[in-house]
């Protein structure tokens, strides 16, 4: 069943995103159109935090997936695939899903998603601290160009991207307020020659996430 977004709730979300002031009508209209007509089980907070459903410089907007505990958006061009996913690892399980007897399995899956992302962010930060203290560690990685990287979100949280000695990056992971798991993936990440290329590819996508909705 499709539902229409109630005006008071929409206004609250727009205020949270800092879009309720003058001169932002196009942004407000875009978010409102994005939320209009979504399925009842969709988590609209996560949906609103995703980058806008429009084409990027390198790829065309393809589709959006949304459920009670996650929202994902996809872009494609040729063989390039880009995705941004946000998971609420502490989302309350809807009664209709709980009735299926899947509560424990879903909670376990959410815990795994959270644990993996947080582990990658924390281990990346530790690695960079160890490299700074030990030149031998830098040599192990093959030089600064092949170190994992930590980027900052618009609200100051850490986002991590791992990098292989042989070249190529992994996905970007960030954990917001010990709850929301943000994952950004690019199908061409394995082809990045160094971590600067990874940063150039991931930073604009990270900056396009509306993190204010997750606070």
If one compares 17 and 182, the residue with the highest pLDDT of the two is 182
The answer to whether residues 209 and 179 belong to one domain is yes
For residue 4, the enclosing domain spans: 1-37
Q: Give the predicted TM-score (pTM) of the model.
A: 0.81
Tally of domains within the chain: 2
Per-residue pLDDT tens digits for 127-172 = 999 999 988 889 889 899 999 999 999 999 999 999 987 789 999 9
- Looking at residue 18, what is its pLDDT? 31
Average pLDDT over residues 80-104: 91
The answer to whether residues 57 and 20 belong to one domain is no
The answer to whether residues 116 and 18 belong to one domain is no
Per-residue pLDDT tens digits for 58-75 = 999 999 999 999 999 999
Beta partners for 161?
149, 172
The answer to whether residues 16 and 61 belong to one domain is no
Average pLDDT over residues 9-16: 32
The answer to whether residues 124 and 152 belong to one domain is yes
The answer to whether residues 90 and 176 belong to one domain is yes
- Looking at residue 4, what is its pLDDT? 29
Confirm if 116 and 126 have CB atoms less than 8 A apart. no
The answer to whether residues 56 and 156 belong to one domain is yes
What is the residue-averaged pLDDT of the chain?
83
The answer to whether residues 30 and 116 belong to one domain is no
The answer to whether residues 160 and 55 belong to one domain is yes
The answer to whether residues 29 and 46 belong to one domain is no
The answer to whether residues 147 and 62 belong to one domain is yes
The answer to whether residues 165 and 77 belong to one domain is yes
| CB contact set of 156 (below 8 Å; sequence gap of 6+) | none
Helix residue ranges, H only, 4-43: 7-16, 25-35
């Amino acid at each position: 069943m499709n539902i229409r977004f109630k005006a008071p709730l929409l206004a609250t979300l727009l205020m949270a995103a800092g879009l309720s002031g003058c001169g932002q009508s196009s942004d407000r209209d875009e978010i409102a159109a994005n939320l209009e007509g979504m399925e009842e089980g969709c988590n609209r907070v996560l949906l609103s935090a995703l980058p806008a459903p429009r084409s990027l410089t390198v790829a065309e907007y393809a589709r959006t997936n949304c459920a009670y505990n996650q929202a994902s958006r996809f872009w494609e061009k040729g063989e390039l695939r880009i995705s941004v996913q946000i998971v609420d690892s502490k989302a309350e399980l809807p009664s209709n899903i709980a009735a299926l007897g899947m509560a424990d399995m879903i909670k376990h899956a959410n815990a795994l998603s959270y644990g993996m992302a947080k582990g990658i962010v924390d281990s990346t930060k530790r690695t960079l601290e160890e490299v700074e203290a030990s030149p031998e560690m830098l040599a192990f990685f093959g030089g600064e160009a092949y170190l994992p990287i930590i980027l900052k979100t618009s609200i100051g949280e850490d986002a991590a991207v791992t990098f292989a000695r042989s070249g190529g990056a992994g996905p970007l992971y960030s954990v917001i307020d010990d709850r929301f798991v943000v994952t950004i993936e690019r199908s061409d990440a394995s082809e990045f020659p160094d971590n600067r290329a990874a940063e150039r590819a991931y930073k604009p996508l990270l900056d396009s996430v509306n993190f204010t909705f997750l606070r």
